[in-house]
Amino acid sequence: MAASPKKSRWWRDGENILLLNAGAVRLAVPRSWSVEGKAEGMGYLDIRDPSDSCALQISCLSIPPLVSTAPTIDQMLREAVPKDHPADAFAPVVTSRRGRMEIAWMDYSYGEQDTERDEWRVAHARVLFASNAVFGALLSFYYWEDDATWAVPAWERMVETLYLGDRGLTRPDPESRRN
């Protein structure tokens, strides 16, 4: 009996594949979520779940060659997040590496007026910066704390599918710029 071929695709049924800047940034999002914005050039997308309880914003960036004294990815992320929240609202930065892509993200909480419920609620923002030697992506994910049981797994899946194109990596590997 012949073995059945393995699935070679990285997305799942029920997901849409988003491409920004001709594949510079790629990820999968739930098919039921709405997508607005400009995916061409250094694109920007605004993605929302059907209940409008959470939102993901994505920007694509072209990365200039960095000098060896450039900040690390977690330092760059800290510069990108708002500074108007108390320090204890910020969780520690999580960093990882996937192939040639460096990733840093953090979560912070804040009070926000929910206009649908007409009440103050605890909201969260997860901000992620990913880069290789050619492209970068800034993802900002906003959700209500009481939606965390489904919103956080949605975030984790989108991050799992995040990929940055390298167009042959015409610049040195990011690790080499830190020596």
Each residue's pLDDT tens digit, 59-103: 888 777 767 777 888 888 888 777 777 667 788 899 999 988 999
- At 133-176, the pLDDT tens digits run 888 899 999 999 999 999 999 999 999 999 998 765 444 444 54
142 domain-assigned: yes
Residue 85 lies in a domain: yes
The residues, ordered by sequence, that sit 6+ positions from 103 with a Cβ below 8 Å of its Cβ are: 73, 95, 96, 97, 128, 129, 130, 159, 162
Residue 103 is inside which H or E element, if any? strand 101-114
Number of folded domains that form the chain: 1
175 within some domain: no
154 in a structural domain? yes
**CATH number of residue 48's parent domain:** 3.40.1000.10
Does the residue 148 lie in any domain?
yes
Residue 4 lies in a domain: no
> What pTM was estimated for this model as a whole?
0.80
Structural domain that includes position 33: 21-166
Residue 144 confidence (pLDDT): 94
**Residue 171's pLDDT is what?**
46
